[in-house]
Homo-oligomer: A and B are copies of this chain.
Amino acid sequence: MISGKKTPTIQDVARHASVSAATVSRVLSSPERVSETTRERVTAAVRETGYTINQAARSLRLKAARTILMAAPNIGNPFYSTIVDAVLSEAAARGYSVLVASSIGDDPNLWLRDYLLSTRADGLLLFDGSLDTKRLHGLDEGGVSLPLVAAYDEIPDPEINSVITDNRLAAKRAIRHLVELGHRRIGHVTFPSRNGTTNERLIGYHEAMTEAGLETHPEWMALGNYNMPSGAAAAEQLLALKQRPTAVFCANDEMAIGFVHQMRKAGVECPRDISVIGFDDITVAEYFDPPLTTMRQPREQIGRMATRSLIDIIEGIQPEDEPVHLVLMSDLIVRKSTRAI
């Protein structure tokens, strides 16, 4: 590469190859439209100069950034790790970069809009059901329709593309598993929100209980925060009951781990005294003691499919007026944290 103070532009390459900038551009984007000899000269010049396309200029001209924005409320949660990986690799495969943002903190609706209107990102991968997507999607009736895919977290808006899992059904299967093991007093640790996903799991819990002819008691419910400490707190709450549940369904594995941890601290064994079933199947679930029975979420697939359909929409492969709604299946993974009563 040529030594020089500044990064070479397409003009520099053109000069090197004794052609016009237009030709260089064509060699780069549609090589078949350029004669072979010229093409070779240009390719050589690109190599010699060490030319790299200036994305800002390209984005400005094309009004597209080849970048997607991934927003989640708590990227800090290990649950997202696999998903991020999948999103990155799928995006890279399609030639897209990935901006990441946390959707908590100062009015996400505001800066998300900003990102998308400012030619920084061409589309949004949203892992947060709590945002006001009406405002995001319609962008205040501006008529600008925004490539948006909601993933993992359910959003009750049929207009919005989504990639989710069968949360309600999965919850029902979790409960049925416990029922089949003979449990009748089954508790639930959930998350307080109108958040679609958790809510679906809650509904599934109730439906399955009703279908099994079992009662649900408000005191068997605990509110958690999706993390381990809150699972532990939930355990404290449930263990204090005069009549404890014999099994507990936690809305995610982290809370389940916290729950079991706290149980053990109190001298209550899992699954001997209380069976616990989680949700997600994070990596550590298998290595935990006892290995956690859980509903596995196909996280890698969620990330991959969501990214894929977002890019399909951006590139017009998928028409925007026919929203895609993908529902992936969860699997019951039976390990050692549940047992027959």
- List which A66-102 residues lie within 8 A (CB) of chain B: 67, 74-78, 80-82, 84-85, 88-89, 92, 97-102
- Asked if B118 contacts A55 (CB within 8 A), the reply is yes
Q: Compute how far the CA of A74 lies from the CA of B283 in the bound complex, rounded to whole angstroms.
A: 14
- Asked if B289 contacts A264 (CB within 8 A), the reply is yes
Given contacts A7-B117, A99-B100, 20 further A-B contacts (CB under 8 A): A1-B140, A3-B143, A5-B143, A5-B144, A7-B144, A54-B60, A55-B119, A56-B59, A56-B118, A59-B59, A77-B81, A78-B81, A80-B81, A84-B84, A85-B102, A92-B102, A98-B101, A254-B283, A284-B288, A288-B288
For A81, list chain B residues within 8 Å (CB): 75-78, 80-81
- CB of A259 to closest CB in B, whole Å: 10
Q: Confirm or deny: A168 has a beta carbon within 8 angstroms of a beta carbon on chain B.
A: no
- CB of A205 to closest CB in B, whole Å: 24
For A50, list chain B residues within 8 Å (CB): 140, 142
Q: Confirm or deny: A53 has a beta carbon within 8 angstroms of a beta carbon on chain B.
A: yes
Q: Confirm or deny: A211 has a beta carbon within 8 angstroms of a beta carbon on chain B.
A: no
- CB of A196 to closest CB in B, whole Å: 23
Q: Compute how far the CA of A65 lies from the CA of B119 in the bound complex, rounded to whole angstroms.
A: 12
For A118, list chain B residues within 8 Å (CB): 52-56
Chain B: which residue is nearest A66 at the CB level? B120
- CB of A226 to closest CB in B, whole Å: 12
For A140, list chain B residues within 8 Å (CB): 1, 50
Interface residues of A (CB under 8 A from B): 1-7, 50, 52-57, 59-60, 65, 67, 74-78, 80-82, 84-85, 88-89, 92, 97-102, 105, 113-115, 117-120, 140-144, 227-228, 232, 254, 257-258, 260-261, 264, 282-284, 286-289
Chain B: which residue is nearest A116 at the CB level? B52
Q: What are the 6 tightest A-B residue pairs by CB atom distance, in nearest-first order?
A: A78-B78, A56-B59, A76-B85, A56-B60, A52-B117, A56-B119
- Asked if B52 contacts A113 (CB within 8 A), the reply is yes
For A142, list chain B residues within 8 Å (CB): 1-4, 7, 50
**Centre residue among A2, A7, A82, A114 by max chain B CB count within 10 A:** A7
- Asked if B102 contacts A100 (CB within 8 A), the reply is no
Q: Compute how far the CA of A46 lies from the CA of B144 in the bound complex, rounded to whole angstroms.
A: 18
Task: State which of B56, B74, B282 has its C-beta within 8 Å of the C-beta of A65.
Answer: B56
Determine the main DSSP class of A at the interface with B: mixed
- Asked if B54 contacts A4 (CB within 8 A), the reply is no
- Asked if A261 contacts B287 (CB within 8 A), the reply is yes
Q: Compute how far the CA of A67 lies from the CA of B144 in the bound complex, rounded to whole angstroms.
A: 25
- CB of A274 to closest CB in B, whole Å: 15
Q: Compute how far the CA of A267 lies from the CA of B78 in the bound complex, rounded to whole angstroms.
A: 29
- Asked if A76 contacts B65 (CB within 8 A), the reply is no
20 contacts between A and B (CB under 8 A): A3-B141, A5-B143, A52-B114, A52-B117, A55-B118, A55-B119, A55-B120, A56-B65, A56-B119, A60-B60, A67-B99, A75-B85, A75-B88, A81-B81, A88-B100, A98-B99, A254-B283, A257-B287, A260-B289, A261-B286
